[in-house]
């Protein structure tokens, strides 16, 4: 087990010492998340992300902070919010609750709170302006 930890730290160090490798790893995982629409799964977690990247949870945290400027939850929720905007534009009759759940949010309250924080209006107000 200890040997495995040393190997993971070595892998992480290699990726973070060479910026292009870290960037490449982040972009590869990002493509898989977007192409496979993995962000729509409300159960998407750090473990899910770790299955896309050969590093431990600390490495994932550093990778996110370095290339996304936020933590993993913030990154995934940002993608979900952008997807929600698209859903509202393309399906104006879709109820807000459906938009939230179809975008990968488990909780309507969380969707409203994050939407308001990011866009400065509630989803309902945004939808009224369309």
Question: How many structural domains compose the chain?
Answer: 2
- Nearest CA-CA partner of 83 in 121, 40, 46, 113: 40
Angle between helix 57-67 and 72-90 (nearest 10): 60
Q: Which of 62, 51, 46 is nearest to 9 (CA)?
A: 62
Question: Both 103 and 62 in a single domain?
Answer: no
Considering the domain architecture, whether residues 89 and 108 belong to the same structural domain is answered as yes
Same domain, 48 and 104: no
Residues near 52 by beta carbon (within 8 Å), at least 6 away in sequence: 28, 29, 32, 33
pLDDT per residue as tens, the chain (130 positions): 433 344 445 444 554 555 778 888 889 889 999 999 999 999 998 888 888 877 788 888 888 999 999 999 999 999 999 999 999 999 999 999 999 999 999 999 999 999 999 999 999 999 999 8
Q: What pLDDT sits at residue 4?
A: 39
pLDDT value of residue 111: 98
Domain assignment of residue 28, yes or no: yes
Residues 56 and 84 in one domain: no
Q: What is the pLDDT of residue 88?
A: 97
Same domain, 59 and 111: no
Answer yes or no: do 88 and 125 share one domain: yes
């Amino acid at each position: 087990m200890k040997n495995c930890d040393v190997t993971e730290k070595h892998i992480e160090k290699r990726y973070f010492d060479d910026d292009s490798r870290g960037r490449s790893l982040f972009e590869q995982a990002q493509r898989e998340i977007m192409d496979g629409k993995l962000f729509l799964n409300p159960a998407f977690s750090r473990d899910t992300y770790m299955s896309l990247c050969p590093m431990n949870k600390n490495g994932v945290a550093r990778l996110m902070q370095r290339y996304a400027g936020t933590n993993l939850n913030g990154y995934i929720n940002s993608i979900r919010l952008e997807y929600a905007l698209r859903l509202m534009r393309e399906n104006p009759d879709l109820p807000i609750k459906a938009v939230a759940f179809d975008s990968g949010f488990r909780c309507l309250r969380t969707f409203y709170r994050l939407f308001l924080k990011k866009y400065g209006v509630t989803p309902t107000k945004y939808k009224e302006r369309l």
